Structure 1
Amino acid sequence: MRTDIAADEIALRHAPATRLVAHRDFHIRALDAQRDAPTLHRWFIEERAAFWNMRDKSVREVAVFYQDIEDSGHAQAWLGMQHGAPAFLFESYDPVHEEVGEHYDVCAGDIGMHLFVGPATTRTPGYTRRVFESLMMFLFERLGARRIVVEPDSRNTRIHALNRAMGFTYAKDVTFREKTASLAFCTRADFYAAIAQDN
Structure 2
Amino acid sequence: MPSTDPGLGTGSEDTLDPHLPPEWSAWYAEEPRTPDQVVTPTAGAPLANLADGATADTPAGPFALVPVRLDRDLGRIAGWMNDPAVAAFWELAGAPEITAAHLRAQLDGDGRSLPCLGVLAGVPMSYWEIYRADLDPVARHYPARSQDTGLHLLIGGAGNRARGLGSTLLRATADLVLDHRPLCHRVIAEPDLRNTASVAAFLSAGFRYSDEIELPDKRAALMIRDRAHRHVL
- Using structure 2 for the length normalisation, give the TM-score: 0.69
Alignment of structure 1 residues 33-182 onto 2, 5 Å: 33-49=70-86, 50-56=88-94, 58-73=95-110, 74-119=112-157, 125-144=163-182, 145-182=184-221
**Root mean square deviation, CA, Å:** 2.5
Amino acid of the residue matched to residue 65 of structure 2? I
Q: Distance in 2 between matches of 1:77 and 1:125?
A: 24
The alignment partner of 2:144 has SS state of coil
Asked if structure 2 preserves the Cα contact closer than 8 Å seen for 1:88 and 1:118, the reply is: yes
For residues 119-177 of structure 1, what are the alpha-carbon distances to aligned partners after superposition, in whole Å with 9 as ceiling and x for unaligned?
Answer: 26677943333222221222222344320111111111001111111222222222211
Residue ranges of structure 2 left out of the alignment (5+ in a row)? 1-15, 20-48
Alpha-carbon spacing, 1:89–1:123, altered in 2? closer, same or farther (3 Å): closer
The alignment partner of 1:193 has SS state of coil
Q: Distance in 1 between matches of 2:161 and 2:200?
A: 19
Percentage of pairs with the same residue: 23
Q: Distance in 2 between matches of 1:138 and 1:20?
A: 11
Aligned equivalent of 2:229, options 178, 190, 198 = 190
Amino acid of the residue matched to residue 193 of structure 1? V
Asked if structure 1 preserves the Cα contact closer than 8 Å seen for 2:131 and 2:149, the reply is: yes
Runs (4+) of structure 1 exceeding 6 A deviation are: none
User: Match of 2:56?
Assistant: 23
Asked if structure 2 preserves the Cα contact closer than 8 Å seen for 1:88 and 1:116, the reply is: yes
Pairs aligned (count): 182
Residue ranges of structure 1 left out of the alignment (5+ in a row)? 1-12, 195-199
Q: Distance in 2 between matches of 1:133 and 1:185?
A: 12
Amino acid of the residue matched to residue 56 of structure 2? H
The alignment partner of 2:170 has SS state of helix
Residue 111 of structure 1 and its aligned partner are, at CA, apart by: 0.5
The alignment partner of 2:230 has SS state of helix
Alpha-carbon spacing, 1:67–1:108, altered in 2? closer, same or farther (3 Å): same
- Using structure 1 for the length normalisation, give the TM-score: 0.80
Q: Distance in 1 between matches of 2:173 and 2:83?
A: 23
Alpha-carbon spacing, 1:186–1:122, altered in 2? closer, same or farther (3 Å): closer
Residue 84 of structure 1 and its aligned partner are, at CA, apart by: 2.9
User: Match of 2:38?
Assistant: none
